[in-house]
Amino acid sequence: MDLVNEFKNWLQNENNLSKSTIEGYLTYVRHFLNFYKEVENGKEFHQLEREMVEWYIRVQVLRFTPDATINSRIASLKKFNEFLLMKNYQDEIVITSDYRVNLGNTFEPKVVSSIDIEKFMNSIKKSGNKRDLAIATLIINTKMTVPDIVKLKVEDYDGASIRINKRFEQDEYKVDEETKSVLNQYLEERKRFYTADSDILFISHKSRAMDDKSVFRLFRKYSQLAELPTPITPKKLSLFYNNLDNFQSHIDYDFFIDEDIYLKIDFLTSNFEENLFENVKVSIWLNKMKNTFYFRIGKPDYVLKIVQKNGSGFIPKGWIFMHSLSKKDIKNALVENFYQGKDLKIKFISNLEKYSLEIDELHKKGL
């Protein structure tokens, strides 16, 4: 069925909309349907699913799509959801009012209460599914992302830690006793799976590997079993325990500046909201050669605080000033301050080296 044409006719006949508005809706719906086709390997679209919409929004953020554009795409999908409901292609509204990114900020789901988290985890435990409990526990205790979790191989877990081989480095996650226990229980249960010969860690009886979408479906299922008003997502689960545990040193951002420069940010402290600054380690790979630099990201208010305290000004070597710690803002700050173009890659490293701090300088009083 040609849903886009049906949607177009519905917009023209049942809504008092301008031609440009209709074209905008159609453009963004086509964009989503192309995304769906790519993710589902050509599978025909039938109806909107919360997990797919949430993943679609998250991908837009990761690609640094402007917030206004993302919100326009979300608005188009809301209208498309109404159309599917009116035409009986769908029996529920899945795109609610909280599907929106805030201008100037990275999209993050709302923080949920400890009671809802407890209900969610209990619904998994009551199911007796050791694999699903292992996945949720990994997210809670290591902050691993769903894309990393579904790619894990059996050999990546050695009983004490999990190692992930990335393009330029290896990430290691230490596992505590709770995580170790649920993983070991799952591995025993896994031996009885029909697909147990798979080298992928998380599998099902029918599939030799899970994917992102299947994990989101699990979270929706257990949210429903727990009778929660809104579903718990992997990100919400991770964010909640982030706040509870204060800070995890392995949390990081990574991205490419251009085709040759890969950059990773490791947060060394967690003082941005309370003390108005954050210590970070900036690791850069240029042609597979690694360089490491240290900076302090601070709010402009902190500069004023230090100046007033000392009674004089100072040269802020090693400082980057901004009001948020979003991935996009940090990337933009580094590019604007130090990167001068693809033909000056070595100069980029040199600029960072001149401006950065030694690690012991980060701990000096007053810095």
What distance lies between CA 248 and its chain's CA centroid? Answer: 15
Who has greater pLDDT, 302 or 335?
335
Which amino acid would we find at residue 313? G
Question: What pLDDT score does 182 carry?
Answer: 93
Specify the range with the lowest mean pLDDT, choosing from 10-24, 50-64, 201-215. Answer: 50-64
188 vs 346, higher pLDDT: 188
Q: Grade residue 367 by pLDDT with cuts at 50, 70 and 90.
A: very low
Closest among 306, 328, 327, 326 to 316, alpha carbons compared? 306
Longest dimension (CA), the chain: 72
**pLDDT at residue 60 in the model:** 74
Strand-by-strand arrangement of the 261-267 sheet? 252-256, 261-267, 277-286, 289-298, 319-321
Each residue of 17-27: pLDDT tens digit?
888 888 889 99
Residue 322: name the closest of 346, 295, 340 by CA: 295
Distance from chain centroid for Cα 41: 22
Query: pLDDT tens digits for 274-332?
Result: 556 778 888 888 766 788 888 888 777 666 666 555 554 444 678 887 777 777 778 78
Q: Output the pTM of the full model.
A: 0.47
**16 CB neighbour count, 10 Å cutoff:** 6
Is a pLDDT exceeding 70 seen at residue 359?
Answer: no
Q: How far apart are CA 4 and CA 263, in angstroms?
A: 40
Answer positive or negative: Cα dihedral of 241, 242, 247, 252: positive
Alpha-carbon distance of 233 to 242, in angstroms, equals 14
Question: What's the confidence (pLDDT) of residue 93?
Answer: 82
For each of the domains in the chain, give its residue range(s) and CATH number, in order of start.
Answer: 3-86 (1.10.150.130), 114-245 (1.10.443.10), 252-363 (no CATH)
Among the residue ranges 150-154, 222-226, 333-337, the one predicted with the least confidence is: 333-337
How many other CB atoms are there within 10 angstroms of residue 359's CB atom? 13
Model confidence pLDDT, tens digit, residues 231-290: 888 877 876 644 333 333 334 677 778 777 888 887 777 666 555 677 888 888 876 678
